Structure 1
């Protein structure tokens, strides 16, 4: 009889130990999973600090359903008839707290020195992603504008290590940036919708062929909601101008998804 009781107690202890082991095993897995998740988030955050060129990560930022920022409005006219890009950059930099203006940026932007020529119907000129092409100050001479690479290079001189080149990304990344208080400089066209093929022509440049449109334009995106995109337009002097969202996105995509912003 005593033997049976001892055996029974021993069995209960054995069962209890097994249950206790399983409980801590499961708890240990959960703790490990939680710890592993935290490590991954920290790694992403550190990567962003070390590599500001990377895309904005969802783990860092959240996109709101709508947002609208108060960004300084600067007009390009009358001084810079072709200076929408540097004027837009002046707005972006002033929003970041940098003391600069469109005329200073116009002097400092990198230029492509290629001279305009037309031979047998073929146009030879500069490449806007190499530097500003042509005359920024007057329509009396040939000219066009500048794309994101020289703008980003100039912006880095004022905010070293803080400029993000978002070119090639999705429009949702622009919305995420605005959600988190940072406006976005972009390249679009002056109609803010898809242009027909006849609005483009091909140039031969030292960097290769490039398809350009004289309707190329640059604005600073300041907000969005479900139906519209809002932006500061340096050409018309309109603050938080709104355009149908899908039309605006289509124009931006057609112009190469060019965009830059800044981080703290």
Structure 2
């Protein structure tokens, strides 16, 4: 009888713990709103709960978290987190003011728009794929180097990233909002073809689990979802969608 009571008590404690996690996660959703309009409540609760699970990180940089303040400011917010870790005091809006803009308007009916390799395309408070998009690695690098040394990686490898993380350097990486991909393209006024992803997104890579030779999980700060963990395989698949772009902050 005593054993049965103890078993019921243990099950009750587990149920209370799980319920508490769910309630806490839902509360966090009200504290950290979804500004990009692409997050869903199931995914957000999942990330909130998973980040509570203990992991043994080989490297995890203590990068301060910053939630993006505009619908499409993920690249700026990711850069801000990396700069903050390196001791730079600057706000998201101060960085935005310094960011060149390629075309602030919507994509026109001829499928002509700006160049994210030159500056921000569209309205930073717009929505993909017609009124706002984002910016690629060169303008982020140019902005970063006003504050800290930096380096661009394109078509990089996981080893490139692991080495930099192990040396204490956070990395802005490009990909898409997890699980959502669609190739899109347009022409610039000069006739250049821009390859893009419908749900282009940037994050700050801060660590990994496993070993340098065999990383298991990649740890990122997502400016929408907070800390997230992707398997090395899933991370590489996501990163490859936009040519494995990255900017390392020194």
TM-score when normalising by structure 1: 0.66
Instruction: Name the CA distance, whole Å, in 2 between partners of 1:170 and 1:117.
Output: 33
Instruction: Name the CA distance, whole Å, in 2 between partners of 1:81 and 1:113.
Output: 17
Q: Which residue of 2 aligns with 1:181?
A: 168
Q: Which residue of 2 aligns with 1:68?
A: 60
2:154 to 156, 167, 171: 167
Instruction: Name the CA distance, whole Å, in 1 between partners of 2:107 and 2:224.
Output: 28
Q: Which residue of 2 aligns with 1:91?
A: 81
Instruction: Name the CA distance, whole Å, in 2 between partners of 1:192 and 1:153.
Output: 30
Q: CA deviation at 1:116?
A: 3.4
Q: Which residue of 1 aligns with 2:222?
A: 233
CA pair 258-154 structure 1, distance change in 2 beyond 3 A: same
- Name structure 2 gaps, 5 residues minimum: 1-56, 210-214
Query: Alignment length, in residue pairs?
Result: 187
CA deviation vs aligned residue, 1:63-88 (integer Å, no higher than 9, x gap): xx931111010001xx3110000000
Q: Which residue of 2 aligns with 1:144?
A: 133
Instruction: Name the CA distance, whole Å, in 2 between partners of 1:138 and 1:114.
Output: 10
Q: Which residue of 2 aligns with 1:219?
A: 203
Q: CA deviation at 1:262?
A: 2.5
Q: Which residue of 1 aligns with 2:116?
A: 128
Contact 2:125 2:132 in 1 (8 A): no
TM-score when normalising by structure 2: 0.70
Partner SS state of residue 72, structure 1: coil
Partner SS state of residue 103, structure 1: helix
Q: Does 1:201 align with 2:188?
A: no
- Name structure 1 gaps, 5 residues minimum: 1-64
CA pair 83-114 structure 1, distance change in 2 beyond 3 A: closer
Instruction: Name the CA distance, whole Å, in 2 between partners of 1:210 and 1:224.
Output: 32
Q: CA deviation at 1:179?
A: 0.7
Cα RMSD after superposing both structures: 2.0
Contact 2:121 2:134 in 1 (8 A): yes
Partner SS state of residue 146, structure 2: helix
CA deviation vs aligned residue, 1:28-85 (integer Å, no higher than 9, x gap): xxxxxxxxxxxxxxxxxxxxxxxxxxxxxxxxxxxxx931111010001xx3110000
Contact 2:141 2:152 in 1 (8 A): yes
Q: What are the equivalent positions in structure 2 for 1:91-130 lying under 5 Å apart?
A: 91-113=81-103, 115-119=105-109, 122-130=110-118
Q: CA deviation at 1:168?
A: 2.6
Instruction: Name the CA distance, whole Å, in 2 between partners of 1:257 and 1:217.
Output: 12
Structure 1's consecutive aligned runs of 4 or more residues displaced over 4 angstroms after TM superposition are: none
Contact 2:173 2:202 in 1 (8 A): yes
CA deviation vs aligned residue, 1:152-181 (integer Å, no higher than 9, x gap): 00011112xx21112232121111111111
